[in-house]
Amino acid sequence: GWIALAGWGWGPRAALGVALLLPPLGALGVYWMRRWEWLVEDARLFLRLAPRPDRRDRLAAERRALVEEFDRIRRLVEAESPAPWTS
């Protein structure tokens, strides 16, 4: 569609330019939509939690526990297998 339209309107160089630009612009559009969805989801969560300090505190405690658990797992993995660049 867009490539043919560019070729018809502005010639083969424009068609080639559009053909080269469309894939990265499409990937950027998909990335932007996903980021937008995350932003909307985070905003909804914030608006639900803002008036409820008890929920906010509970989620913060759960987050701290998860971070501690991930740190513990990371330390275990690092202790069992040293980094390849240190050998």
Q: What is the pLDDT of residues 5-33, one digit of tens each?
A: 999 999 999 999 999 999 999 999 999 99
Residue 63: domain span? 52-80
Q: Does residue 62 share a domain with residue 29? A: no
Side-chain half-sphere of 80: how many Cα atoms within 13 Å?
6
Q: Are residues 39 and 57 in the same domain?
A: no
Cα separation, 19 vs 38, in Å, equals 30
Domain for residue 11, yes or no?
yes
Q: How many angstroms separate the CA atoms of 11 and 61, rounded?
A: 61
**Residues 20 and 37 occupy one common structural domain:** yes
Q: Residue 85: inside a domain, yes or no?
A: no
Same domain flag for 24 and 66: no
- Higher pLDDT among residues 81 and 85, named by residue: 81
Same domain, 43 and 10: yes
Mean pLDDT of 43-71: 90
d(CA 7, CA 67): 54
Residue 6, class by beta-carbon neighbours within 10 Å (0-12 exposed, 13-18 middle, 19+ buried)?
buried
Residues 43, 66, single domain; the answer is no
